[in-house]
Amino acid sequence: MTEPGIMIVDDEKNIRLTMSQALASLGYEISTAVNGEDALKQLAEKEFRLILLDLKMPGMNGLDVLRQVVEQRPDIRVIIVSAHGTVENAVEATKLGAVDFIQKPFAPKEIRQLVQEVLDRDKLEAEQTHNYDTHLALTKRCINLRHFEAAMEHAKQSIGFDPARPEAFNLLGVLYEIQGDREEGMKNYRVALDLDPSYQPAWRNLRRPKESGKDQQNTDLG
């Protein structure tokens, strides 16, 4: 499974290059988008942990992009990149859900340090607040949004918190079936039933006729 990466959204090529080079040492895959439309297209195709988002761009501006990111993927952290004169908009962006902002011009060291701080803060918050039930809820949400890699990760983290409960194994089975691995899906449904023979969603998934990959409509998420 690919580790979620970082996306840089800016219409200025030099800014994209500078930030990409500054963040390369952090070890994440770096993607770049030239405008808001490009960013949303990539968001639908790949998993991201963090987005660096320029506010002022031709076409769809940063605030419009931020609103859609917050609505579609509230688990992704967004840092606003603002030019001189747009600080008020940057403050507005934090009210909408951005976690921080930085003003141009900035040194590569500054952007690298801010990104590392946000990622560390996010990790600490996750360790403090996430538990079996929150990861289970995030698994279902990601499945409904068709973000299957993120869903798989949350399901596995649920199991890590409590391997004695059946719900996450059932969801993991659903995700393996979506990937086309019916056999692995069946194994996880059986594990769920071994843990709780009365757990009906796993029974229904075991008895359901085989369907094709991501077109499955009748899986029981529990």
Q: Which residue has the tokens 């003003």?
A: 103
Q: What is the DSSP letter of 2?
A: P
The CATH code for residues 132-215 is 1.25.40.10
Average pLDDT over residues 94-120: 89
pLDDT category at 90 given cuts 50, 70, 90 is confident
Quick one: angle between helices 132-144 and 148-161, nearest 10? 160
Residue 16 and residue 221: Cα distance in Å, rounded? 40
Q: What is the DSSP letter of 213?
A: G
In tens, the pLDDT along 43-74 reads: 998 989 999 999 889 889 899 999 999 888 88
Residue 205 and residue 113: Cα distance in Å, rounded? 47
- Whether CATH 3.50.50.60 fits 5-129: no
User: Same topology for domains 5-129 and 132-215, yes or no?
Assistant: no
| pLDDT score of 129 | 60
In tens, the pLDDT along 182-210 reads: 999 999 999 999 999 999 999 988 887 76
Residue 129 and residue 132: Cα distance in Å, rounded? 10
The answer on pLDDT for 213 being more than 60 is: no
| pLDDT score of 1 | 46
| pLDDT score of 124 | 63
